[in-house]
């Protein structure tokens, strides 16, 4: 059962703004460049991901959501770069869910958003592998700036927040499950002590 946004007027406002207001070309270009830098930073931590992308050198991926579009090309180094606006995409991924609220809920639950895929099957399989296996190790990056102990503390806090969001999103999507979870006995947290050592 899909849940509606608690603030439907926000969805309408976002739709109106995204259809009526167009950001300047330079701003869109700068945001896309920063996004590519972030993707490449994450990819450089995964040699297998780079090897898979290197095999797709020159192939163009177009990602779409509402009026927003970005075209990326796989480079020989196994990274991504912005493709020319005139480049013909080999693969097009269109996010079919238009509501930012629904996308945020799906992300909080750990679900993949609904996507319509058109184009090269092999390239789509490689992109799917990247989505399933490549993760940003935020804690490792923070440890370079803050040190190991503070980075670990921040990582634990973020994991707890993510888990709380998943539980909240899951209970909002399935209201009947929240009462069942409240009445279930708690799971044991530790094994009972064994016989004393001789």
Fold that domain 21-135 belongs to in CATH: Nonspecific Lipid-transfer Protein; Chain A (3.30.1050)
Q: Are 39 and 78 in contact (CB under 8 A)?
A: no
pTM for the whole structure: 0.61
Q: What's the rounded Cα separation, in Å, for the pair 51 and 117?
A: 23
At 2, list the tokens: 């899909």
155-188 per-position pLDDT tens digit = 666 667 666 656 665 665 555 444 444 444 444 4
Most confident of 29-33, 100-104, 110-114: 29-33
Q: Where are the alpha helices (DSSP H) in 2-93?
A: 8-20, 25-43, 47-54
Kindly list the domain boundaries of the chain, sorted by start residue: 21-135, 139-173
């Amino acid at each position: 059962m899909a849940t509606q946004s608690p603030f439907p007027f926000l969805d309408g406002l976002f739709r109106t703004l995204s259809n009526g207001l167009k950001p300047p070309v330079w701003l869109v270009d700068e945001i896309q460049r920063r996004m590519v830098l972030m993707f490449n930073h994450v990819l450089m931590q995964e040699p297998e991901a780079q090897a898979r992308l290197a095999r797709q050198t020159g192939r163009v991926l177009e990602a779409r959501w509402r009026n927003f579009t970005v075209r990326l090309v796989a480079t020989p180094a196994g990274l991504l770069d912005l493709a020319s606006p005139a480049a013909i995409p080999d693969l097009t991924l269109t996010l079919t869910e238009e509501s930012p609220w629904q996308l945020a809920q799906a992300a909080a639950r750990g679900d993949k958003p609904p996507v319509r895929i058109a184009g090269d099957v092999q390239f789509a399989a490689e992109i799917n592998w990247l989505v399933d296996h490549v993760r940003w190790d935020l804690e490792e990056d923070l440890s370079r700036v803050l040190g190991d102990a503070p980075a670990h503390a921040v990582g634990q806090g973020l994991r707890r927040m993510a888990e709380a969001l998943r539980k909240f999103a899951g209970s909002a999507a399935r209201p009947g499950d929240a009462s069942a979870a409240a009445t279930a006995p708690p799971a044991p947290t530790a094994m009972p002590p064994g016989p004393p050592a001789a």
